[in-house]
């Protein structure tokens, strides 16, 4: 890494809302970074607990704390970006963790690849206690297109990427909220799909590329509830997001919207399998095939396996299904571990 990159200031945006349980551990993982020239822009989004006080008690001068009324995570992150002073922007959610070389590795990647504006990598999934659950979020690392993000989102989650500030600036816009004009990067009309919408907008409206590195440097926490409780809300968020993308990329949605919808419905089907909702899983899998039958040709193995497992879960005795699932999970974990090293 050259001297300029070593000296680069990275601005890390961290919104707080009911964050007290995990935020200290999250920030300690940031403090452990081998690239130490960073600031953490902490945005207390009207949190009802004393998360911000806890951050303040850590007494790190690199932590800049801003307190504001609750407006939601999109606007909190947008506010944080506006306060950022660095040439590179990263985001970390209050319950996720980074490994020590996270920033250093992504900065080295961006130094090697001047045409790349966003660097990302795989994430290891952890549980409430911070223990590995044996799986990873992995995605295609090169040839990232708007279609790929729409269908497969290789970036995975919002705590993964490191982004050049210049790339962020090129998608900045202003809009009025509550009688005031605010700067926007994440679209607050795109709740629960705001990350994907931003990645697509970056690829469509700028000349920057996106590329991943194979190093697994983010620990992404999975907590109870979420998508398995209200999958249809997730599908509504996806449909709303496609409507918003169609405003500036109508040809993308016209050509690839059906494929994107099919992949998202299949994703919901797989999530329903994990929550033992076999009938819902079957319904979502069939909706995926109805939305875009070519998913069977483009990604046959995962599509067929999703349907097969959903039906097996429905008809097999619980003990037999559990044994098969355990065997399959071990094989999948072993394959993923080989991919991420």
Residue extents of the structural domains in the chain = 3-223, 245-340
Give me 302's structure tokens: 């995962």
pLDDT tens by residue, 162-195:
999 999 999 999 999 999 999 999 999 999 999 9
Segment 1-29 mean pLDDT = 92
Q: What percent of the chain has pLDDT over 90?
A: 87
Using the Cα atoms of residue 205, residue 187, residue 42 and residue 223 in order, give the sign of their dihedral.
Answer: negative
pLDDT tens by residue, 296-317:
999 999 999 999 999 999 999 8
Q: What is the pLDDT of residue 227?
A: 46
Q: How far is CA 88 from CA 130, 171, 228, 248, in A?
A: 27, 15, 34, 26
Does residue 341 carry a pLDDT above 60?
A: no
Name the CA dihedral angle for 26, 15, 17, 97, rounded to a multiple of 10 degrees: -20
Q: What is the pLDDT of residue 159?
A: 98
- Gap between the Cα atoms of 216 and 278, Å rounded: 32
pLDDT tens by residue, 205-245:
999 999 999 999 999 999 875 444 689 999 999 999 999 99
Whole-model pTM: value is: 0.94
CATH hierarchy code of domain 3-223 = 3.90.550.10
Segment 130-153 mean pLDDT = 96
């Amino acid at each position: 890494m050259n001297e300029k990159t070593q000296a680069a200031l990275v601005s890390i945006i961290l919104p707080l809302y009911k964050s007290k349980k995990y935020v200290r551990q999250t920030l300690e993982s940031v403090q452990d970074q081998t690239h130490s020239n960073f600031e953490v822009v902490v945005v207390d989004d009207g949190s009802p607990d004393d998360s911000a006080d806890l951050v303040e008690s850590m007494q790190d001068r690199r932590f800049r704390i801003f307190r504001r009324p609750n407006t939601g995570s999109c606007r909190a992150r947008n506010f944080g970006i506006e306060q950022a002073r660095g040439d590179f922007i990263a985001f970390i959610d209050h319950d996720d963790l980074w490994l020590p070389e996270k920033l250093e590795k992504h900065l080295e990647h961006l130094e090697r690849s001047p045409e790349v504006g966003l660097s990302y990598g795989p994430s290891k999934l952890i549980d409430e206690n911070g223990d590995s659950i044996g799986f990873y979020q992995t995605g295609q690392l090169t040839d990232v297109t708007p279609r790929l993000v729409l269908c497969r989102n290789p970036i995975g989650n919002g705590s993964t990427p490191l982004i050049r500030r210049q790339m962020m600036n090129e998608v900045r816009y202003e809009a009025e909220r509550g009688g005031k004009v605010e700067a926007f990067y994440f679209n607050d009309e795109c709740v629960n799909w705001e990350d994907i919408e931003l990645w697509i907008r970056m690829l469509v409206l700028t000349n920057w590329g996106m590329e991943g590195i194979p190093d697994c440097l983010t620990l992404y926490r999975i907590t109870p509830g979420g998508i398995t409780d209200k999958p249809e809300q997730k599908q509504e968020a996806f449909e709303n997001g496609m409507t918003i993308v169609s405003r500036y990329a109508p040809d993308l949605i016209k050509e690839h919207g059906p494929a994107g919808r099919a992949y998202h419905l299949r994703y919901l089907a797989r999530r329903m399998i994990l929550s033992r909702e076999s009938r819902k899983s079957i319904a979502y899998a069939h909706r995926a095939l109805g939305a875009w039958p070519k998913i069977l040709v483009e990604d046959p193995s995962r599509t067929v396996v999703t349907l097969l497992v959903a039906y097996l879960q429905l008809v097999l005795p619980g003990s037999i299904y559990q044994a098969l699932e355990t065997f399959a999970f071990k094989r999948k974990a072993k394959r993923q571990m080989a991919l991420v090293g």
